[in-house]
Amino acid sequence: MNLTFLDAGQLTARLDLESSVETPDGQGGVTLSHAVESTLWARIEPVSAACEELGHVDRQAVTHRIWVRRIEGVSAGKRFRKGGRIFEIRTVHDPDERGRYLVAHVTEV
């Protein structure tokens, strides 16, 4: 088994874990907003950046790996927020299956 060592001192970014909340808009639809579930310390590692054209607009896609101590509720479909930066969670896994840390692969929007 490949053991992963991460110094807890590397968890220097304070992030909010947010989940989406649907509120009825009174016309049969919903308004989508996000609510903070918890605040945690994390390590953010940039992974890649790419530029793609969508229509006639250039769009930048930046991906990161975010390390956090294991906590229930971190899953794909939620997001992390650091001030004005938003990181959509794509996948989450336990890097060495020991239940100490989680690694989220995210896309910054």
Taking only the tens place, the pLDDT of each residue in 70-105 is 999 999 999 999 999 999 999 999 999 999 999 999
Q: Give the pLDDT score at 68.
A: 97
Sign of CA dihedral 37, 65, 3, 95: positive
What CATH number was assigned to the domain covering residues 9-108?
Answer: 2.40.10.270
Domain ranges of the chain: 9-108
Q: Which of 104, 82, 84 is nearest to 93 (CA)?
A: 104
Q: Give the pLDDT score at 3.
A: 62
Taking only the tens place, the pLDDT of each residue in 34-48 is 999 999 999 999 999
The answer to whether 101 touches 65, Cβ cutoff 8 Å, is no
Taking only the tens place, the pLDDT of each residue in 54-79 is 888 888 889 999 999 999 999 999 99
CA atoms within 13 A on the CB side of 4: 16
pTM of the model: 0.88
